[in-house]
Amino acid sequence: MRNVVLRRAAFLAAFLLVELLAVTNWLDGADLAGRSGWPGQLGYMGAWVLRFMVGFSAAFAAFAGVQGTWKQAQAVAGELRWVWLAAHSGLAAAFVAASAALYGNWPAVTLPNLLVTAWLLLGVLAVLSACLGVFPWRFWRSLLSVPASAWITASLVSALGLAVVIWSQSLWQSTARLTFEMVQILLRPLIPNLTIDPSRLRIRGNHFGVIISQECSGLEGVGLMLIFSAAWLWLYRRDFRFPRAFLLIPAGAVTLFLLNAVRIAALLLIGDAGAERIAAGGFHSQAGWIAFNGVAFGMTILAPRLRWISLFPPARREPILDDNPTAAYLIPFLAILASGMLSRAASADFEWLYGLRFLAAAAVLWFFRARLPTLSWSIGWMGAATGFAVFALWLAFDQWQGTPSAGMPIPLAQGSAAWQLTWIMLRALAATTTVPLAEELAFRGFLMRRIGNVDFDTVPLRSATWIGILGSSVAFGLLHGERWLAGILAGLAFAAVARKTNSIGEAVLAHAVTNALLAIWVLGRGQWQYW
């Protein structure tokens, strides 16, 4: 029962988080700035109140779990209430309509204070209906037995978090100046006649220069690293010696901060060598993510092997590639992500090295060919039919969203026929082979089953839980950026066919058919926005 409660709570949190991300990406508090009455107050205070509530919810859930409240609440978890979930859909639709009126059509709004009140009420009721759909009222009432210390602590933690955010904003300028000094130290031995402008934090070599703005200070990466390392230590807290393991948190943050200075120095060197477009384009946008992933991945590999920190000696740890079933499911997908970051980092205004994704994934899949999952790889008409349906869905969503058409990218159109043919062939091959294989192994083969069972490799696809299906589909949808909603529905379709047929092969076929039809559409109709 405990696992059921925790999985359902995790699903509720993820569900509300996706809706929150969608709303915050759509609505901008600046649109209400300067308006009179409650709308102006909403524009000024709304974001901070929302941040406090999110922080409080997370902290309260953690402290309630520590104090055993989740265990007490298991007996009243109950079943899903579909009536409340349907009510949530209606309330969410009404909230969207009120948002459109409040944020988008201000001159025509009458009684603005009343509209703000209705907007807030609809938002609160939408959240409450979702909560009551996942857990009944008696479950939430049982949380009233949580000691007052948990409520007070959660409030203090959330308030402290907001205070840290406000305080950190004052550090941007000083941190940017520190980064500026570090970059100078790195570059002076390599470019003796370096031009320095401390007032603008500008550094210039012989042919190329950079301005270290507050966004380049490295604080964002440090914050992300702090969150990652703290969460990772919490998940694997039984494997480490505390308080020694806490040293990993500042170690990761400091390492990433130093690498940020190295990144900026490398950017200037690349631009100064004549590759200005690559420096200002792909390298500038991807090098930070490459550094973060390198530090995070390095920590997860190195820390468990340090006897001073780890509770278990290295000899007791299973080999990553030989005995760990997770590797065969995830490493092909990770190879695509890693090679994609590298190819974009080496690109200017067009990713000429896209073929690295295909080659990297193909090499990893070949390496794991003898250790690929023992799931069924049978295929039939259902997978192909699902692929056709998802293709139609994809086109319909683009029409509904009004996505503008796009022709062949100018750099590719201006390239030689040989380059065009090679790039298109590798792009199509990746879309129809390695991408469906890697993504279905990761999202349907691993994540869909792992959400429901730690020993996921023993769970048949037909036994996947609805929480696993929804959770993996949401993650799959978020991978597709602006098409996240279509991606979620596509993930649900691929998961459904895999569960129905108990075959990962059917999901791979459906995915491959969708991508193949999109490739034909792109090349036949010239609708390059799908690529």
209 close to 184: Cβ distance less than 8 angstroms: no
Q: Is 209 helix (H, G, I), strand (E, B) or coil?
A: strand
- Please say whether the beta carbons of 390 and 517 come within 8 A: no
What residues contact 83, with CB distance under 8 A and at least 6 apart? 133
Query: Are residue 101 and residue 38 in the same domain, yes or no?
Result: yes
Positive or negative: CA dihedral 317, 318, 321, 326: negative
3-class secondary-structure state, position 204: strand
489, amino acid identity: L
> Rounded distance, CA 508 to CA 332, Å?
14
One domain, residues 226 and 277: yes
Structural domain count of the chain: 3
- 330 is a domain residue: no
* Cβ 365 vs Cβ 437: under 8 Å: yes
Domain end, chosen from 111, 132, 166, is at 166
- 310 belongs to a structural domain: yes
Both tokens assigned to 187: 């570059």
Q: Which residues make beta-bridge pairs with 202?
A: 197, 211
108 plus 195 within the same structural domain: no
Reported as a single tens digit per residue, the pLDDT across 364-382 is 999 888 777 678 899 989 9
Tokens of 508: 């791979």
Q: Is residue 325 part of a domain?
A: no
Q: Which two tokens stand for residue 234?
A: 């919490």
Question: Looking at the domain assignment, is residue 459 inside a domain?
Answer: yes
Q: Which two tokens stand for residue 287?
A: 């090098």
Sheet holding 202-204, edge to edge: 195-197, 202-204, 209-211
Is the domain of 134 the same as that of 14?
Answer: yes
DSSP string, 248-307: HHHHHHHHHHHHHHHHHHHHHHHHHTT-HHHIIIIIHHHHHHHHHHHHHHHHHHHGGG-T
Q: Taken in order 323, 325, 329, 330, is the CA torsion positive or negative?
A: negative
Q: Which domain holds residue 434?
A: 335-530
Do 407 and 427 lie in a common domain? yes
Residue 211 backbone dihedrals phi, psi, to 5 degrees:
-115, 125
| 35 part of a folded domain | yes
Do 210 and 143 have their domain in common? no
Helix (H) or strand (E) holding 195: strand 195-197
DSSP percent split of the chain into helix, strand, coil, nearest 5: 75, 0, 20
Q: DSSP string of 393-442?
A: HHHHHHHHHTPPP--S-HHHHHS-HHHHHHHHHHHHHIIIIIHHHHHHII
What angle do helix axes 417-429 and 504-525 make, rounded to 10 degrees?
Answer: 150
- Same domain for 293 and 365, yes or no, is no
- Are the C-beta atoms of 514 and 390 separated by less than 8 Å? yes
Q: Residue 327: inside a domain, yes or no?
A: no
The per-type count for the chain, helices as H runs and strands as E runs, is 22, 3
Q: Say which residues have a Cβ less than 8 Å from residue 502's Cβ, sequence separation at least 6.
A: 376, 460, 461, 462
Residue 410 has what pLDDT?
87
- 35 and 148 share one domain: yes
In a domain, 257, yes or no: yes
Do 357 and 267 lie in one domain? The reply is no
Residues 351, 343: Cα–Cα separation, whole Å: 7
Q: How far is CA 218 from the centre of its chain?
A: 20
CA dist 388 → 5, 87, 429, 510 (Å) = 37, 32, 18, 8
Burial of 6 (0-12, 13-18, 19+ CB in 10 A): middle
Nearest to 264 by CA among 306, 209, 220, 336: 209
Q: Are residues 253 and 188 located together in one domain of the fold?
A: yes
3-state secondary structure (DSSP) of residue 415:
coil
Q: What is the pTM of this model?
A: 0.65
Specify whether 241 is located in the same domain as 312.
yes
pLDDT score recorded for residue 230: 84
Print pLDDT tens along the chain (531 aa): 445 666 677 777 777 877 776 777 677 666 666 666 667 677 667 777 777 887 787 777 766 654 455 555 555 555 678 888 888 888 888 888 888 777 765 555 556 678 788 888 888 898 899 888 888 887 777 777 777 777 887 788 778 877 776 776 677 778 888 999 999 999 988 888 888 888 888 999 888 888 888 777 778 788 778 888 887 887 778 888 888 888 998 999 899 999 999 999 998 998 888 878 777 777 777 788 788 888 888 888 888 888 888 887 665 444 545 556 788 898 899 899 888 888 887 777 788 889 999 999 999 999 888 777 678 899 989 999 999 999 999 999 888 877 788 888 888 888 888 888 999 999 999 999 999 999 999 999 998 998 877 788 888 999 888 888 888 898 898 888 788 888 999 999 999 999 999 999 999 999 999 999 999 999 998 899 888
Choose the final residue of a domain: 117, 146, 166. Answer: 166
How far is residue 53's CA from residue 25's CA, in Å, rounded to a whole number? 18
User: Among 150, 166, 182, which residue terminates a domain?
Assistant: 166
C-alpha dist (Å) from residue 126 to 8, 82, 162:
18, 14, 25
Backbone angles phi, psi at 300, to 5 degrees: -65, -25
* R_g of the chain computed on alpha carbons: 26
What is the three-class DSSP state of 312?
coil
Look up residue 215 and give its two tokens. 């966004």
Q: Answer yes or no: do 216 and 136 share one domain.
A: no
Find out whether the peptide bond into 243 is cis, omega within 30 degrees of 0: yes
Q: Is residue 75 part of a domain?
A: yes
DSSP 104: I
pLDDT of residue 375: 81
